[in-house]
């Protein structure tokens, strides 16, 4: 079935370090891919998305590229800040499918 | 602009008591609506979704139920809570069609004692 697998956390980095959070997916067909972020005690916020192969989603310095050949959508940021500390969720969905498949989340801790 | 509200923000209930959580969306019409549960340190589990008034799809058989009495109102209920119902409950809406990102509410923290 359709699913999303994320790297386990927590990921602990120093401020200004480079971030990669791995996400791979299994899907029949061509899903859209998403990254959501959840700050402590809050709901999820859409961070970025990509709707077709080779698309790059970007927002707030974060980027992810939809790689169909490797079924991946890894999240990257060149220089993390303490304020980026949160849990990051990778997800997939299909047009008109009424379901999102979320990964288990990766907690990021950024130390000053 | 669209906003989504959930209440209450936090709730502590004894085992066996009833539950009612409410979610409302403003600024859009005929949204798809979703209830998720997030256990401590875990990912999201889809509980219910609705594509219209009175239309509810259940993803996980359990002692919870959902209702959609109005277009922009989604209610999660239980007649008798279990300890395992503790968690963070998130409501989300989706515009549907080509623009199908999900937008989440602030969540309700439920502790069953």
Tens digit of each residue's pLDDT, chain B (113 residues): 889 999 999 999 999 999 999 999 999 888 999 999 988 777 888 899 998 999 999 888 678 999 999 999 999 999 999 999 999 999 999 876 666 788 999 999 999 99
* Higher-pLDDT residue of A94, B53: B53
- What pLDDT does residue B98 have? 64
- What is the least distance, in Å, from the CA of B41 to any CA of chain A? 9
Identify which of A32, A41, A102 has the shortest CB distance to residue B44: A102
Angstrom distances, CA of residue A41 to CA of A97, B11, B48, B84:
29, 14, 22, 20
B51: three-class secondary structure by DSSP:
strand
Question: ∠ CA(A45), CA(A104), CA(B20), 5° rounding?
Answer: 65
DSSP-derived secondary structure letter, B85: G
Contact with chain A for residue B52, Cβ under 8 A? no
- What is the least distance, in Å, from the CA of A10 to any CA of chain B? 11
CB atoms A104 and B105 under 8 Å: no
């Amino acid at each position: 079935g359709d699913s999303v697998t994320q790297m386990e956390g927590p990921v602990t980095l120093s401020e200004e370090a480079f971030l990669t959070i791995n996400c791979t997916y299994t899907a029949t067909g061509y899903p859209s891919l998403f990254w959501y972020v959840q700050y402590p005690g809050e709901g999820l916020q859409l961070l970025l998305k990509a709707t077709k192969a080779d698309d790059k989603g970007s927002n707030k310095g974060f980027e992810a590229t939809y790689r169909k050949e490797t079924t991946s959508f890894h999240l990257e940021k060149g220089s993390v800040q303490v304020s980026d500390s949160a849990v990051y969720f990778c997800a997939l969905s299909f047009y008109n499918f009424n379901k999102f498949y979320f990964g288990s989340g990766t907690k990021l801790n950024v130390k000053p | 602009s669209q906003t989504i509200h959930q209440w209450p923000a936090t709730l502590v209930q004894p085992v066996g008591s009833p539950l009612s959580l409410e979610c409302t969306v403003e600024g859009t019409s005929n949204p798809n609506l979703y209830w998720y549960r997030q256990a401590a340190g875990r990912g999201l589990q889809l509980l219910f979704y609705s594509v219209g008034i009175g239309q509810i799809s259940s993803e996980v058989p359990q002692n919870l139920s959902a209702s959609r009495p109005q277009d922009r109102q989604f209610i999660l209920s239980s007649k008798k809570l279990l300890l395992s119902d503790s968690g963070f409950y998130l409501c989300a809406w989706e515009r549907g069609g080509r623009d199908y990102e999900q937008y989440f509410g602030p969540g309700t923290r439920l502790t069953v004692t």
